[in-house]
Amino acid sequence: MSRSAVWHPFTQHATEPAAPLIARTEGAYVETADGKRILDAISSWWVITHGHRHPKIVEAIRNATETLDQVIFAGLTHEPAEQLASALVEMAPAGLDWVFYSDSGSTSVEVALKMALGFHRNNGDARTRLVVMEHSYHGDTIGTMSVGARGVFNAAYDPLLFEVDTIPFPAPGREQETLDRFEALTRDGKAAALIVEPLVLGAGGMLMYPAQRLTELKQIAERSGTLLIADEVMTGWGRTGTMFACEQAGVSPDILCTSKGLTGGSMPLAATLATEAIFQAHLSTDRAKTFFHSSSYTANPIACAAALANVALWRDEPVAERVAALSRMQADKLARFRNDERFENLRTAGTISALDLRVGKAGYLAEVGPKLRAFFLERDLLVRPLGNVIYVLPPYCVTSGELDRLYDAVDEAAELAGGGG
């Protein structure tokens, strides 16, 4: 084969091994062209929910292509988008009555930020400051990087990123600090919105906080007229144990972003849900108040059909029970490391588990990630640690035996950090 022309995402081509060629996917596995079955313990970057190529979703995609491909979504509409929007409104936290489609998690967040600023501006309120949580991740576009944590990943673009106000991550013992800071930032009535990943900060290191904190943040937001944007791009569709993570906090955000699991992980699609008030602020005979946003592939009918099949699966199959069983399994299996000094910060949120590998030498942190990745791949396990944070975020069809094999490998992998490099 000639040299690959592919420039891969988040990949340092100078140091990383050539990417295995994946020829087939099924259930909890991705399979290489030469027949190796690799357990997808990270749901292919958090998108796959039920499992790869669920037959009902594949069937829906196939059927949709019999009648529709892409249709311009300004001025025209179609059944898959209409039905999906109704279903989303029904399933989402109460009060989210409008659905705006786009095609990735990042765009769903960009849309949310624009809606929040448009809401205030159209209401004659000069609020433009955004409040974000420390260690957050909301995407890789300029706008979403601006509301995310700053670091080596976005240092080159820093001059282009807009300023935001940051509240501390509500780590145990620091909760009050988080709430006080948010209260202080909202006191002058200038904060447009708080954007948060509910319960789990994914790319920031699978950091988890109790639902009660989200409830408290929402109360402060409400008192000051600050909008709450819930970025449920990763946490949605059962990942944290409930359909949406906000449910556990009894919180209805003003805006909710969903993508990754929306189509069961089969097709790119995203939706930003908003309240009636936000829609109303853009409803006017003054055309300047229009919500000016679109992507070419907005509400792609085939992707919407895949999402509708996903919604049907949640209705027709015991998916919630499957999620509950997986959540229990994850907690049980992680417990074997409870008194293991090689690890710390054992944590779970629904179907997600995470633990931190104690690393000795300073500077070793950056190195351990790629080493662990290679170690797991040699054992036909797709695991992608975030620095020294090992996490397991599997499709819901994963079995107890498969998880055992995975945690056995985690146990072995700890030696990589302990062995003095």
CA atoms within 13 A on the CB side of 355: 22
384 is in an annotated binding site: yes
CB of 417 to ligand PLP, least distance (A): 26
CB of 205 to ligand PLP, least distance (A): 12
Query: Which sign, positive or negative, has the C-alpha torsion 82, 85, 89, 95?
Result: negative
CB of 104 to ligand PLP, least distance (A): 4
Neighbours of 287 (CB within 10 A): 7
Beta carbons of 103 and 269 less than 8 angstroms apart? yes
CB of 219 to ligand PLP, least distance (A): 23
259 is in an annotated binding site: no
Beta carbons of 253 and 275 less than 8 angstroms apart? no
| Helix, strand counts (H, E) of the chain | 12, 16
44 is in an annotated binding site: no
CB of 108 to ligand PLP, least distance (A): 7
Residue 401 token pair: 């035996």
Q: With respect to ligand PLP, which residue has the nearer C-beta, 337 or 396?
A: 396
CB of 421 to ligand PLP, least distance (A): 31
105 is in an annotated binding site: yes
* Interatomic CA distance for residues 77 and 67, integer angstroms: 14
Q: With respect to ligand PLP, which residue has the nearer C-beta, 10 or 162?
A: 10
Q: With respect to ligand PLP, which residue has the nearer C-beta, 206 or 417?
A: 206
* Interatomic CA distance for residues 109 and 114, integer angstroms: 9
* Interatomic CA distance for residues 163 and 129, integer angstroms: 8
37 is in an annotated binding site: no
356 is in an annotated binding site: no
In the complex, which residue's CB is closest to ligand PLP?
A: 105
Q: With respect to ligand PLP, which residue has the nearer C-beta, 143 or 413?
A: 143
* Interatomic CA distance for residues 330 and 410, integer angstroms: 13
* Interatomic CA distance for residues 227 and 225, integer angstroms: 6
* Interatomic CA distance for residues 3 and 183, integer angstroms: 55
Torsion of CA 400, 402, 403, 404, to 10 degrees: 90
Task: Decide: helix, strand or coil at residue 200.
Answer: strand
CB of 252 to ligand PLP, least distance (A): 19
Q: With respect to ligand PLP, which residue has the nearer C-beta, 80 or 105?
A: 105
Which residues of this protein are in contact with ligand PLP, per CB under 6 A? 104-106, 109, 137-139, 197, 202-203, 231, 233-234, 259
Q: With respect to ligand PLP, which residue has the nearer C-beta, 137 or 407?
A: 137
Q: What's the distance, Cα to Cα, between the start and end of the chain in Å?
A: 35
Q: With respect to ligand PLP, which residue has the nearer C-beta, 93 or 139?
A: 139
45 is in an annotated binding site: yes
Beta carbons of 233 and 147 less than 8 angstroms apart? no
Neighbours of 13 (CB within 10 A): 11
Binding residues: 45, 105-106, 137, 231, 260, 294-296, 384
Binding residues for substrate: 45, 137, 260, 294, 384
Binding residues for pyridoxal 5'-phosphate: 105-106, 231, 295-296
